[in-house]
C-alpha cells in the first residue's frame, strides 16, 4: 500500500476516533484495516463492517487513491454501529436493520460539515418515501437476503434500498424531534416504528 494511502487512513482514523469519543463516548474498539478490493464500495475504495461492540473491519482497495474524508465517514458510521451494540444492537427484523444502517449514514452526514459523505449524498433522493411505501410490508421480516435489500440493484429495487429507507426514516424522525444522529445511537427501534406508524 502506498505511503499516501497509509497516511490518509491513519489521519482519517485519528479524526474519527476523536470525534466519536466526544460525540458517542467511544472506547474499547479495535479497528482492523484489510486490503480487499472485493469488499469495498467501488466509488470510494472502502467499506466497513462491525460484527460486535469491540471490533470494526475497515476494508480498502489499496490500488485506488483513497480519500481521508471517506475514511473518516466510514469509521464514524461503524462507530455508531459499535456503540449501538451496548443498547438495542442490530435488532431482529428488516425494519431494525434499516434503522441501524440509517443511523450510521445520518451520523456520517452530521459530521460532514454540510458536505455529506459519498453514501449520504447518493441515497438522499426524492423518491425515498415512494420506496418506503413499496417495501413497508416487509418490515417485519426476520429472514431476509441482506445483499438483495442493502447492496445490489435489481429489477425490483434500486441500489442500497435498505440504506435509503433507513436513512429516510431516521432523518424524518430527526426533523420532527429536532435531534441529531449522535443523540439517537441508543434509541429503541420501537420509537422509530411508532413514529413511522404515526405518519401513516
Q: What does the H/E/C string look like for 122-178? A: HHCCCCHHHHHHHHHHHCCCCCCCHHHHHHCCCCCCCCCHHHHHHHHHHHHHHHHHC
Cell numbers linked to 168: 429516510
How confident is the model at residue 184, as a pLDDT? 97
Burial class (CB in 10 A: 0-12, 13-18, 19+), 96: buried
Whether 21 has a pLDDT exceeding 60, the answer reads yes
How confident is the model at residue 114, as a pLDDT? 86
Tell me the per-residue pLDDT of 31-46, one tens digit each, with 9 for 90 and over: 999 999 999 999 999 9
Q: Quick one: pLDDT band at residue 200, thresholds 50, 70, 90?
A: low
CA 166 to chain centre: 9
How open is the CA angle 155-158-167, to the nearest 5 degrees? 155
Mean pLDDT (whole number) for 112-116? 90
How confident is the model at residue 104, as a pLDDT? 97
Mean pLDDT (whole number) for 166-172? 95
Tell me the per-residue pLDDT of 86-104, one tens digit each, with 9 for 90 and over: 999 999 999 999 999 999 9
DSSP string, 13-76: HHHHHHHHHHHH---S-EEEEEE-GGGSBTTTTEEEEEEETTEEEEEE-TTS---HHHHHHHHH
How confident is the model at residue 126, as a pLDDT? 74
Whether 148 has a pLDDT exceeding 80, the answer reads yes
- Please give the residue that has the higher pLDDT: either 200 or 106: 106
Whether 162 has a pLDDT exceeding 60, the answer reads yes
How confident is the model at residue 178, as a pLDDT? 96
Distance CA(168)–CA(163), nearest Å, equals 8
- Please give the residue that has the higher pLDDT: either 196 or 149: 149
- Please give the residue that has the higher pLDDT: either 125 or 51: 51
Show me where the domains of the chain are located: 3-84, 94-199
Q: 0.85 cut: is pTM over it? A: yes
How confident is the model at residue 69, as a pLDDT? 97
Amino acid at each position: 500500500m502506498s505511503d499516501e494511502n497509509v497516511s490518509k487512513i491513519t489521519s482519517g482514523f485519528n479524526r474519527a476516533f476523536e470525534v466519536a469519543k466526544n460525540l458517542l463516548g467511544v472506547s474499547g474498539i479495535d479497528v482492523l484495516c484489510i486490503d480487499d478490493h472485493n469488499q469495498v464500495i467501488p466509488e470510494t475504495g472502502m467499506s466497513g463492517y462491525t460484527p460486535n461492540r469491540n471490533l470494526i473491519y475497515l476494508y480498502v482497495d489499496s490500488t485506488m487513491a483513497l480519500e481521508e474524508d471517506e475514511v473518516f465517514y466510514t469509521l464514524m458510521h461503524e462507530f455508531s454501529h459499535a456503540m449501538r451494540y451496548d443498547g438495542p444492537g442490530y435488532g431482529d427484523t428488516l425494519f431494525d436493520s434499516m434503522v441501524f444502517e440509517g443511523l450510521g449514514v445520518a451520523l456520517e452526514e452530521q459530521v460532514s460539515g454540510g458536505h455529506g459523505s459519498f453514501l449520504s449524498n447518493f441515497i438522499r433522493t426524492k423518491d425515498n418515501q415512494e420506496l418506503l411505501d413499496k417495501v413497508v410490508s416487509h418490515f417485519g421480516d426476520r429472514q431476509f437476503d441482506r445483499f438483495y435489500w442493502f447492496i445490489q440493484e435489481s429489477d425490483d429495487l434500486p441500489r442500497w434500498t435498505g440504506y435509503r429507507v433507513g436513512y429516510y426514516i431516521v432523518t424524518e424522525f430527526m426533523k420532527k424531534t429536532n435531534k441529531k444522529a449522535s443523540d439517537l445511537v441508543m434509541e429503541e427501534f420501537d420509537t422509530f416504528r411508532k413514529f413511522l406508524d404515526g405518519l401513516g
